[in-house]
Amino acid sequence: MEEERSVDLPNNFSEEPLSAQSLTRIRALIINPSTPDSTISSLFETLTRSLELNRDPNLLHHTLKLLSDLSSHRNALSGLVLDSLRRHALHSAASTRLAAESLDVVVSIAERGPALAPAADELGGGVFASLCFSSPVSVRLWLLRNAERFRLTPYLEFTVFLGFTKDPYPCVRKVALDGLVRLCNACVVEDEEMIRGCYSHAVALLRDTEYSVRLAAVRTVCAWGLWLAASNLKTKSQCSDEVFVMLCSMARDMSMEVRVEAFIALGKVGMVSEDILLQTLSKKVLGINKEKRLLGQCCGEHFEILVSSAAGALVHGLEDEFFEVRKSACHSLSRLVVLSAHFALEALDLLMDMLNDDSLIVRLQALETLYHMTACDHLKLQDKHMHMFLGPLADKSNSIRYAARKVLKLVKLSVLELFILTVDALLENLARYPEDEVDAFSVFFHIGQNHGKFVSCIIEEITRQIEPTCEGKLDFDNVRVGALIVLAISTQSSGELSCDISPTIFSYAVTMLGRIADALSDVMSQSALLAFLSKCSQSARLSALDFTESEHLFALTKVGNFRDYSNNNVTDTLAMFLPRKIFGASEIQFSGITHPRQYPTLHLDYKLEAHDEVIKSLNAILARVKDIWPLVLTGNLYEVLRILRNCKEELATFNANNSTGVLAFTLQYLRVIKLLSKVWQHFLPSRFLAYRMGTLDILLAKLDRWLRELRSRFIGLSKEEELHVLELMLVTCTLRLSKIEICCKHSTLKRLSSTMLQVEILLKEESVQPSEFEIEVGKLSSKIHTSVSGGSCGPHLFEGLSEFFCLKQFVFCGRLEHVEAELDVPHNDSEHLLCFVPGLPVGISCQITLHNILIESRLWLKMTMDDGLTQFIFLDLSLSEDHDSYRRFSFLAPFYKTPNAVSFTLKLCIGMESPFEDVQIVKGSWGPKRELAYLCEEREVFLSLLTKG
């Protein structure tokens, strides 16, 4: 074995240097753990001899790399490798680069073997210094950048870096300055004269012609200047002032990067005299008293001259043309305002201007600076500041509004007028951006606690706005009412209130407990909040005169906020606030589902099985979905989307088990209601300020498709459940017909008539009364029945129908089976393509699995090219085998219209003709006759041109 491994090596090591091919074979032997030790020893001798014979820099580089690999794979040879490098490479006169690379190998060996570290330390220092002063620029740069690896003594490092700050090459000067900063951070120098020397050298380089050197000099002046100030407590203040002024002199540097670094460094100076701070806010040079002149001379004889360079430094930074500079100036200001209340007051005007900056980043930093001012109690707002200060609450950026509210949580206002302005601005913020509710409620709580006396002055006005109207109406979902309730209860929790608050307000707060608890989660838990409200309202009991019966029912539905709190304690406590006598013999339940007997409806006649907890929980979610309709009618889309998102997140926590069908149906139903809410915004009056999302025709097309899937892809829908879906289809048709720009009026009219006919049949079978909306649609449908073309039917006939529609609660009455399909094309992806010949059919092998598909269903394989060309293939289910609830079979799908191209992609999907659809979309041609409900996600198939050979 040894002979086999040695045969590849040169026969005469003493006369012939190693070639590149030999080095490659040697590396394979080194990294192979099964190579015998005798062969490894021979390789070591070969490589050592190569260092003497070889003069090719590239081969020498590889030889050194192999020696490094040898020491790492064979630790026993590390000492021998180190000695070899010391004899033949480190002091090589042929190449300083070779010596530098050898030193790198030596250090690497020492890092892997602690036992060799002393020998490497003894060797490395002298070689490092000699190489630094004799190597070319590239080697010198490499050595200086990696100096910390060579474990040099602090004195040697200090000498080398300090010496090279005067190197003729700018890149070397920069690296030397960076090295001095590393030395300072390591705190290895304690001699004050050495510290002052580093600082002085860095100050001199602040005027270097190269911006990269000036950039490094700013960092060095900051690091060593602050270390110099800290080294002598007697002169700390004066030295800090001098460092601050030196850095201010770079605030107007020609380089943007240098200016940014200068302001970052200014923020690191933790002690500055107030008169110098004030000087940075004034472009006019201010006078410095005699005492200051004398103290300043302790650290620099040119101190008075340099003070003029600080004039207006922060002003220039805040007015800079580059947003990076303005941001760094704001950042330094956030550190400096802590040092002086007078300085913070003077800087406030400049800071308010930054709240209108064009850059989002700068505005955020300005708000962060205001937060620091508020935290140290240096923010003193005046009436002239309030317009700018409250302006960010109306900003389009959510992050800006959040940062502004973060400041408001801490701010302390001096007069009642400023407090009222702040409350009004927050209420306007809520009206414009309902999605900010949680954080805004939290702000109301904190400012109420911070300004209890001001709240007591306006408590009567707050109570008047919270109390029901003269008609007895109280909107429990009004975000303004919720904010005022939070403001009222905040003062009671602080214990500083000087006037009484009506206990009824705390009763009202219970109806919004979930929303308030979310906002106050950083202050108290929900159980603590509920106990607090119970205690504060224990003297108040709502009577039958307080609310009308319908408003109590509305309050109960709003208890959907308690969806996560269905334990007995919450139920018992909540019962204190809602009197039973209003409901007569009806029993109030707070399990998440409310069935008041005063409102019998078609779907509430069914009783759910007690053991089916999944069905009960899903109905509780659907009950909350029904309650969003008043929000949809008022254009509060953001709140609607938030509630639906919460419902979807709660749905994701369910364990499917045997309830896959109802879970899938509920998820699809939530999507339908979300899309219907978006569509409805396009039909609201402009006074509701509805935020309209998406193009109407696209939204309606999606809504049509999803409703069709909702009805077609689920087996086991009861007649009541089917009626609910049909009514949603009716309202979609009427919305489409009420807009003149929507096309396909003829087919929509036929779909409306067909759907209405199915509704009438189901109503007759169940002997129930139609809803008001169904009655109005039926009247209109009978009018246009004789003129199915709809030529005389204008949009005005359908405009008023939407006013009769009101979303009902959907209640599951049993189990559902989900109709779905799985489609796979084996052995095909972007790397494994099917071959085709242009113009000839190509067969695509498909593996298809169908779940809960009835034998009479008409299924189609839809094949679509990138350019939109579509082909349909009928799937004959009689050829498949039935396995209980699923069918599985293979199918070779032919695609006939192969293009003249090198490659193309097909998208495959399985669709099912709607068995309930009477409107045929295609006549006299091959393909589906009715709209398709798609049963799976699209599957991409990749095809490539068949080539010869």
Amino acid occupying residue 323: F
458 burial level (CB within 10 Å; 0-12, 13-18, 19+) = middle
Beta bridge partners of 195: none
* Pairing between β-strand 939-945 and β-strand 932-934 as defined by DSSP bridges: unpaired
In a domain, 396, yes or no: no
Q: What is the 3-state secondary structure (H, E, C) of 412-480?
A: CCCCHHHHHHHHHHHHHHHHHCHHHHHHHHHHHHHHHHHCHHHHHHCHHHHHHHHCCCCCCCCCCCCHH
Q: How far apart are the first and last CA of the chain?
A: 44
Query: With 50 as the cut, is the pLDDT of residue 555 above it?
Result: no
Lowest mean pLDDT among 144-158, 591-605, 636-650, 706-720: 591-605
Statement to judge: residues 461 and 581 lie in one domain: yes
- Collect all residues with Cβ–Cβ distance below 8 Å to 551 and sequence separation of at least 6: 468, 472, 473, 474
CATH value at residue 241: 1.25.10
pLDDT band with cut points at 50, 70 and 90 for residue 572? very low
Residue of 910, 943, 903 lying closest to 824 (CA atoms): 910
Query: With 50 as the cut, is the pLDDT of residue 518 above it?
Result: yes
Statement to judge: residues 876 and 747 lie in one domain: no
Per the model's pLDDT, the better-predicted residue between 141 and 538 turns out to be: 141
Query: With 60 as the cut, is the pLDDT of residue 307 above it?
Result: yes
Query: With 90 as the cut, is the pLDDT of residue 370 above it?
Result: yes
Per-residue confidence (pLDDT) for residue 768, from 0 to 100: 74
Q: Write out the residue range of the structural domain in which residue 300 sits.
A: 236-380
- Collect all residues with Cβ–Cβ distance below 8 Å to 80 and sequence separation of at least 6: 44
Long-range contacts from 43-47, C-beta under 8 angstroms, 24+ separation: 43/9, 43/70, 44/70, 44/77, 44/80, 44/81, 44/84, 45/13, 46/9, 46/10, 46/13, 46/18, 47/18
In a domain, 179, yes or no: no
Statement to judge: residues 447 and 520 lie in one domain: yes
pLDDT band with cut points at 50, 70 and 90 for residue 493? low
Average pLDDT of the segment spanning 247-273: 91
Per-residue confidence (pLDDT) for residue 254, from 0 to 100: 92
Per the model's pLDDT, the better-predicted residue between 824 and 153 turns out to be: 824
What is the rounded average pLDDT for all residues in the chain?
Answer: 76
Statement to judge: residues 320 and 458 lie in one domain: no
Statement to judge: residues 457 and 569 lie in one domain: yes
Q: Where are the beta strands (DSSP E) in 610-684?
A: none
In a domain, 907, yes or no: yes
Residue of 248, 184, 180 lying closest to 213 (CA atoms): 180
Statement to judge: residues 370 and 257 lie in one domain: yes
Per-residue confidence (pLDDT) for residue 795, from 0 to 100: 59
In a domain, 216, yes or no: no
Statement to judge: residues 319 and 438 lie in one domain: no
Statement to judge: residues 795 and 659 lie in one domain: yes
pLDDT band with cut points at 50, 70 and 90 for residue 214? very high
Number of domains in the chain: 4
Tens-digit pLDDT profile for residues 29-66: 887 778 887 888 888 877 777 766 666 666 666 777 77
pLDDT > 90 in the chain, percent: 15
Statement to judge: residues 864 and 785 lie in one domain: no
Query: With 80 as the cut, is the pLDDT of residue 640 above it?
Result: yes
- Collect all residues with Cβ–Cβ distance below 8 Å to 513 and sequence separation of at least 6: 526, 529, 530, 533, 561, 562, 565
436, HSE (Cβ side, Cα atoms, 13 Å): 27
CA gap 123, 103 in Å, rounded = 9
In a domain, 892, yes or no: yes
Statement to judge: residues 456 and 516 lie in one domain: yes
CA gap 239, 230 in Å, rounded = 9
The DSSP secondary structure of 294-338, one letter per residue, reads HHHTTT-TTHHHHHGGGTTHHHHHHT-SSHHHHHHHHHHHHHHTT
Statement to judge: residues 467 and 574 lie in one domain: yes
pLDDT band with cut points at 50, 70 and 90 for residue 296? very low
In a domain, 139, yes or no: no
For 493, the enclosing helix (H) or strand (E) is: helix 479-494
Do the beta carbons of residue 679 and residue 692 sit within 8 Å?
A: no
Per-residue confidence (pLDDT) for residue 599, from 0 to 100: 31
Query: With 60 as the cut, is the pLDDT of residue 609 above it?
Result: no
Q: Looking at 356, 380, 404, which one is the last position of a domain?
A: 380
In a domain, 814, yes or no: no
Per-residue confidence (pLDDT) for residue 248, from 0 to 100: 92
Average pLDDT of the segment spanning 551-577: 37
Per-residue confidence (pLDDT) for residue 215, from 0 to 100: 93
Residue of 852, 846, 847, 912 lying closest to 886 (CA atoms): 852
Lowest mean pLDDT among 69-78, 652-661, 677-686: 652-661
538, HSE (Cβ side, Cα atoms, 13 Å): 7
Return the structure tokens found at 855: 């034998």
CB neighbours of residue 99 within 10 Å: 22
pLDDT band with cut points at 50, 70 and 90 for residue 219? very high
Query: With 90 as the cut, is the pLDDT of residue 137 above it?
Result: no
CATH value at residue 906: 2.60.40.10
In a domain, 548, yes or no: yes
pTM: 0.54
Query: With 70 as the cut, is the pLDDT of residue 18 above it?
Result: no
CA gap 804, 779 in Å, rounded = 13
Query: With 80 as the cut, is the pLDDT of residue 718 above it?
Result: yes
CA gap 134, 494 in Å, rounded = 74
Residue with tokens 């770079």: 250
Return the structure tokens found at 152: 């040099």
pLDDT band with cut points at 50, 70 and 90 for residue 745? low
Going from the C-alpha of 683 to that of each of 146, 688, 703, 734, 778, the distances in angstroms are: 69, 11, 15, 12, 22
Q: Looking at 776, 804, 832, which one is the last position of a domain?
A: 804
Statement to judge: residues 658 and 570 lie in one domain: no
CA gap 886, 847 in Å, rounded = 13
Per-residue confidence (pLDDT) for residue 473, from 0 to 100: 52
Per-residue confidence (pLDDT) for residue 597, from 0 to 100: 31
pLDDT band with cut points at 50, 70 and 90 for residue 656? low
